[in-house]
Chain A
Amino acid sequence: MAAQTMFEKIWDSHVVHEESGQPSIIYIDLHLIHEVTTPQAFDGLRLNGRGVRRPDLTIATVDHNTPTWELDKPVTDEISKKQLDALADNVKDTGITFYDRFSENQGIVHVIGPDLGYTLPGKTVVCGDSHTSTHGALGCLAMGIGTSEVEHVLATQTLRQFKPKTMEVRINGDLPVGVSAKDVILGIIGKIGINGGIGHAIEYTGEAIRSLSMDGRMTVCNMSIEGGARAGMIAPDETTFAYIKERPYAPKGEELEAAIDEWKKLPTDTGAKFDKLVEIDAADLAPFVTWGTNPGMVAKITDRVPDPASFDSPAERESAERALTYMGLEPNTPIEEIKIDRIFLGACTNSRIDDLRAAASVIKGKTVNPNVYAMVVPGSARVKLQAEQEGLDKIFKDAGFDWRVAGCSMCLGMNPDILQPGERCASTSNRNFEGRQGKGGRTHLVSPEMAAAAAIAGHFVDIRNW
Chain B
Amino acid sequence: MEPFVKVSGVAAPIDRVNIDTDQVIPAIHLKSIERTGYGKFLFSSWRFNADGTPNPDFVLNKPEYQNASIIVAGRNFGCGSSREHAPWALQDYGIRCVIAPSFADIFHNNCYQNGLLPIVLPEEDVRRLMDKLEKDPGTKLNIDLEGLRIWDEDEEIVLEFNVEEFRRYCLLNGLDDIGLTLQNEEAIKAFESKS
Contacts and interface: CB of A to CB of B under 8 A. Distances in A.
A72 to B, nearest CB: 23
Contact of B22 (A40, A160, A435): A435
Contacts of A318: 16
Given A80-B31, A152-B178, A37 B82 contact: yes
A415 to B, nearest CB: 9
A23 B188 contact: no
Interface stretch (A191-199, A331-339, A347-355): A191-199
Nearest to B187: A17
Contact of B104 (A148, A198, A439): A198
Interface in A201-238: 225, 228, 230
A198 B118 CA distance: 15
B115 to A, nearest CB: 11
B28 A50 contact: no
Contacts of A82: 31, 33
A83 B104 contact: no
Interface in B51-106: 74-76, 79-84, 87, 102, 104-106
Contacts, number: 166
B23 A433 contact: yes
B154 interface: no
Q: Report the contact-size class of chain A (Cβ under 8 Å from the partner).
A: 35 or more
Contact of A155 (B109, B166, B178): B178
A188 B32 CA distance: 36
Interface string B167-195: 00000000001101110100110011001
Given A130-B81, A144-B82, A40 B35 contact: yes
A222 B45 CA distance: 26
Interface string A146-172: 111101100111101010100000000
A389 to B, nearest CB: 33
Contacts of B124: none
Interface in A64-119: 64-65, 77, 79-80, 82-83, 86
A421 interface: yes
B113 A157 contact: no
Contacts of A149: 109-110, 113
A414 B81 CA distance: 13
Interface of B: 16-18, 20, 22-23, 26-28, 30-35, 45, 50, 74-76, 79-84, 87, 102, 104-106, 109-110, 113-114, 164-166, 177-178, 180-182, 184, 187-188, 191-192, 195
20 contacts: A17-B188, A22-B166, A39-B34, A40-B34, A40-B35, A129-B81, A130-B82, A144-B82, A149-B113, A157-B188, A158-B181, A198-B104, A198-B105, A228-B79, A294-B79, A413-B28, A431-B20, A431-B81, A433-B22, A440-B50
Closest 5 CB pairs of A and B: A148-B113, A39-B33, A146-B110, A146-B84, A147-B84
Interface of A: 16-17, 21-23, 25, 27, 36-37, 39-40, 43, 48, 50, 64-65, 77, 79-80, 82-83, 86, 128-130, 144-149, 151-152, 155-158, 160, 162, 164, 194-195, 198-199, 225, 228, 230, 294, 315-316, 318-319, 322, 412-414, 418, 421, 431, 433-436, 439-440
